[in-house]
Amino acid sequence: MSAINVGQAVILGVVEGVTEFLPVSSTGHLKLTEGLMGIPVDDKSVVGFSAVIQVGAIAAVLLYFFKDIVRIVSAWFRGFTDREVRQHHDYKFAWWVIFATLPIVVVGLAAKPFIDGPLGSLWVVAGSLIVGSGAMWAADQMGRHKRGEDDTSFKDAMLVGSSQILALLFPGFSRSGATMSTALVLDLDRVAATRLSFFLGIPALTGAGLYELKDALGAGVGATPLVVGTVVSFVVAYASIAWLLKFVARHSFNAFVIYRIIVGVLLLGLLSTGVIG
């Protein structure tokens, strides 16, 4: 019997699509939802399922930013033979994304037993949601929001890319929250910080999904729930991306900070009272 049925896959796909790119922690929300539905959050196949359906959200990013991605990838390939192209920001940015992904890959492989084990606890998720809220609020207050996307540098990409490790080690901190907060501290404006977070998430999340696919299929989750969850997450994530970019252009991150604290405190209450384990 599959560890996750089709109905549960739909619900988890919606949760993944809504929360993957909002700075509220998709991992935290998935684990909370799984716990409320009685799904064992530390089951190997469930962990794999959560990683695989992220590919649907990544596909939404690829489609939403298709023209930008084609331009950047094209510049990267042309730069191998054209010295002039190698001076363009797009060519350099492509390399920055590659290099900025390496830290999370190294840490992810080295720390996988801890990530799938004790660090995957719902207690860790609750604490990370609350602590991450403080970090996000401080970053939004500290940042001067004066630099746009064209002003990003190799240093920016490496620091923002490396910050993804926080979300990897502490599910609930939020990959989007960590990357956006770091970008804000570096004085990028909110839209630039959000777009940079999207681009840096593409290789990391795609790699994680493909790496976990064998565990999801081989340890108890059928192909149908995987496909359903991935498709649902794609559709919902596309709408979420469009909404987020419009929202951050006019608002601070305070709404997300408050929401994260509420969810973190609620999760602590549910764990303390034994409603979920």
Task: Copy the structure tokens of residue 194.
Answer: 């959000």
The answer, as to whether pTM is greater than 0.95, is no
Give the model's confidence band at 206: pLDDT under 50 very low, under 70 low, under 90 confident, else very high. confident
Residue 107 in domain: yes
- pLDDT band per the 50, 70, 90 thresholds, residue 217: low
The residue whose two tokens read 């469009």 is 242
What's the rounded mean pLDDT across residues 40-52? 79
- For the CA atoms of 237, 241, 242, 245, the dihedral, rounded to the nearest 10 degrees, stands at 170
- The answer to whether residue 254 is domain-embedded is yes
Residue 44 has pLDDT above 70, yes or no: yes
Residue 47 lies in a domain: yes
**Tens-digit pLDDT profile for residues 160-188:** 999 999 988 998 899 999 999 999 999 99
| Mean per-residue pLDDT, 64-70 | 95
Express each pLDDT in 72-129 by its tens digit.
999 999 999 999 999 999 999 999 999 999 999 999 888 888 877 788 788 998 999 9
Asked if 167 and 177 touch (Cβ cutoff 8 Å), the reply is yes
User: Using CA atoms, how far apart are residues 157 and 226, in angstroms rounded to an integer?
Assistant: 32
- Reading the block at residue 253, the tokens are 């991150």
Q: Is residue 1 part of a domain?
A: no
CB 122 within 8 A of CB 266: no
Helices and strands (H, E) in the chain, number of each type: 14, 0
**Number of domains within the chain:** 1
Within a domain: 277: no
With respect to residue 237, please indicate whether it lies within any of the assigned structural domains: yes
Range of the domain at 80: 6-272
Hey, what's the torsion of the CAs at 3, 59, 198, 118, to 10 degrees? 20
